[in-house]
Amino acid sequence: MLKLLAFDYGASSGRAILGKFDGEKISFDEIHRYSNDPVIVNGSFYWDILRLYHELKQGIIKCVKNGDKDIKSMGIDTWGVDYGLLDRNGNLLANPFHYRDSRTDGMIEEAGKIVPLKDIYSETGIQFAKFNTLFQLMAEKKYNPQRLEAADKMLFIPDLLNYFLTGEKYSEFTITSTSAMYSFKNKGWATELMKKLGLPTNILADIIDTGKKVGNIKADICEEVGMPSIPVIAVAEHDTGSAVISVPAKGGNFAYLSSGTWSLLGTECQTPVINDTSFKLNYTNEGGINRSVRLLKNIMGLWIIQELKRYWDKTGEVLGFGELVQLAEKEKPFLAFINVDDDAFYAPGNMPTKVAEFCRKTGQKVPETKGQIVRCVLESLALKYRSALEGLQDISDSRIDVLHIVGGGCNNKMLCQFTANAIGRNVVAGPIEATAVGNLSSQLISMGEVKNLEEARILIGNSFPMDHYEPQNTENWDSAYEAFLKLN
């Protein structure tokens, strides 16, 4: 039995996963789960990176206590775009900013005054979002120039955690590609673009391929946690990159939906798709395993539901996500819709009021009960997925036959069925723990235990259950889609 350790960091929690491979199936146990709580200081939004590193070590310690010291490798995946800056001595200059920090407001427009936005897109293929690393560095230069001047290296969050463990400084391909600073034309950093925007290029680390060994855990950390030194593998460090690896597709024209706090809907390509249509529709090209490309649309996702629950919890009306879905099932369909990607829903706050206000401003009936609000959001998400899928077909000039949903959103059976109804196609949901499974699969491929991605996907399909959804009430959903499009 081969044992592997995967650390999967999301926007609200992190987990240590002990994976096991017996030659035929992958299985795993959650060894350690911990909260990922951002911190607001003086109006700025930060990640508590040292706490996250501490919890990482606690995960290793729990493996040791459980008698699982015979770990063959480990890997880390996280969300994209965010980074830490190191000085010449390798010390962290400050806590990394959270991608939802407001300092990037207006940075896209400032960049466009220097370099036409179409030129930026032609170079990077990344959809425009104010949290892109490129715009974060522009904000850093504007508001914290002294920190940027003191920086010797910039490392993305998973690379930073790997550095804490090994002392090695690298940028893994999939996480690098999320930054809007990677040039698909040059197959490396977009240094000329960065220079035009006045950003330093000396802080960039060497880019390594997915599956490469970063290094071994340092001796002092091994002594601290009681674990023999093990290799750290640069898995697909962007969580969506790992999630896409877990898609158990068996050929054909398929799309994937990585469903969690964010929804990433896309397809796999061997080369980037960068043209007038993809620019107009604001689709993104991100790296995948084997230097493939994930052509996708970034959609707000279940963040809105999470924020609704967070607000209601604070008011003392504590309900689980399953209970909220049950309330939504009792309500009438298609009361109102929201544009889930509207800026109003981007930041944390009083989400029930934000949903009501959007409906009021757009002349719709205003959802009032919890069930009505949740159903409004879930129906709007499903309709947004249809819009994104149609755009994907226009760009790739191919018909998508089936949609694979992976990630925590698979647990929301109502949303999965709504999605099948909205897109008029079969939906296959699973695995639920997509990022962890993809992380473990990257390690197995790296170690030669699994031959390639195709073999890994067959293995995943044989290891985990899948749910299947067929479209229902498509005529009603087609009419709802027409009404939804008028809001966007």
Residue positions counted in the chain: 488
Q: How far is CA 115 from the centre of its chain?
A: 27
Active site residues: 239
Q: Which residue, among 241, 291, 239, has the nearest Cα to 269 in the 3D structure?
A: 291
Show pLDDT as tens, one digit a residue, over the chain (488 residues). 999 999 999 988 999 999 999 999 999 999 999 999 999 999 999 999 999 999 999 999 999 999 999 999 999 999 999 999 999 999 999 999 999 999 999 999 999 999 999 999 999 999 999 999 999 999 999 999 999 999 999 999 999 999 999 999 999 999 999 999 999 999 999 999 999 999 999 999 999 999 999 999 999 999 999 999 999 999 999 999 999 999 999 876 899 999 999 999 999 999 999 999 999 999 999 999 999 999 999 999 999 999 999 999 999 989 999 999 999 999 999 999 999 999 999 988 999 999 999 999 999 999 999 999 999 999 999 999 999 999 999 998 888 999 999 999 999 999 999 999 999 999 999 999 999 999 999 999 999 999 999 999 999 999 999 999 999 999 999 999 999 999 87
Q: Is the domain of 22 the same as that of 55?
A: yes
CA–CA separation, 193 and 119 (whole Å): 9
Assigned token pair, 64: 């040791």
Spell out where 193-321 has E strands: 207-208, 213-216, 231-233, 254-259, 263-269, 284-287, 293-299
Q: Given this model, what pLDDT does residue 317 score? A: 87
Q: Is the domain of 203 the same as that of 98?
A: yes
In a domain, 403, yes or no: yes
Q: Given this model, what pLDDT does residue 238 score? A: 98
Q: Is the domain of 276 the same as that of 213?
A: no
486 Cβ neighbours under 8 A, 6+ residues apart: none
Q: Is the domain of 206 the same as that of 343?
A: no
Q: Is the dihedral of CA 165, 169, 174, 175 positive or negative?
A: positive
In a domain, 375, yes or no: yes
Look up the CATH number of the domain holding residue 334: 3.30.420.40
Q: In 3-state terms, the chain is what percent helix, strand and coil (to 5)?
A: 45, 20, 35
Residue located via tokens 């909260």? 35
Residue located via tokens 């977009």? 190
| Cβ contact 177:117 at 8 Å | no
Q: Is the domain of 193 the same as that of 280?
A: no
CA–CA separation, 88 and 69 (whole Å): 35
Q: Given this model, what pLDDT does residue 397 score? A: 81
Type of residue at 2:
L
Q: Given this model, what pLDDT does residue 253 score? A: 82
CA–CA separation, 378 and 370 (whole Å): 12
Q: Given this model, what pLDDT does residue 487 score? A: 86
Rg (CA), the chain: 22
Assigned token pair, 228: 């023999």
In a domain, 395, yes or no: yes
CA–CA separation, 279 and 128 (whole Å): 9
Q: Is the domain of 260 the same as that of 173?
A: no
Q: Is the domain of 167 the same as that of 280?
A: no
Assigned token pair, 440: 């473990």
For the entire predicted model, the pTM comes to 0.93
Q: Hey, what's the torsion of the CAs at 452, 453, 455, 460, to 10 degrees?
A: 140
Q: Given this model, what pLDDT does residue 398 score? A: 81
In a domain, 171, yes or no: yes
Q: Is the domain of 300 the same as that of 345?
A: yes
Total domains, the chain: 2
Q: Is the domain of 226 the same as that of 291?
A: no
Side-chain-facing half-sphere of 258: CA atoms under 13 Å: 29
83 Cβ neighbours under 8 A, 6+ residues apart: 96, 133, 136, 154, 155, 156, 157, 160
Q: What is the residue range of 115's domain? A: 2-233
Q: Is the domain of 128 the same as that of 199?
A: yes
Domain stop point among 185, 204, 233:
233
Q: Which residue, among 335, 346, 407, 430, has the nearest Cα to 375 in the 3D structure?
A: 335
CA–CA separation, 4 and 6 (whole Å): 7
Domain stop point among 173, 202, 233:
233
Q: Given this model, what pLDDT does residue 175 score? A: 98
In a domain, 440, yes or no: no
| Cβ contact 443:450 at 8 Å | no
| Cβ contact 437:239 at 8 Å | no
Q: Is the domain of 309 the same as that of 412?
A: yes
In a domain, 444, yes or no: no
Q: Is the domain of 200 the same as that of 262?
A: no
In a domain, 460, yes or no: no
Q: Hey, what's the torsion of the CAs at 442, 445, 449, 450, to 10 degrees?
A: 100
Domain stop point among 206, 233, 260:
233
Q: Given this model, what pLDDT does residue 228 score? A: 95
In a domain, 458, yes or no: no
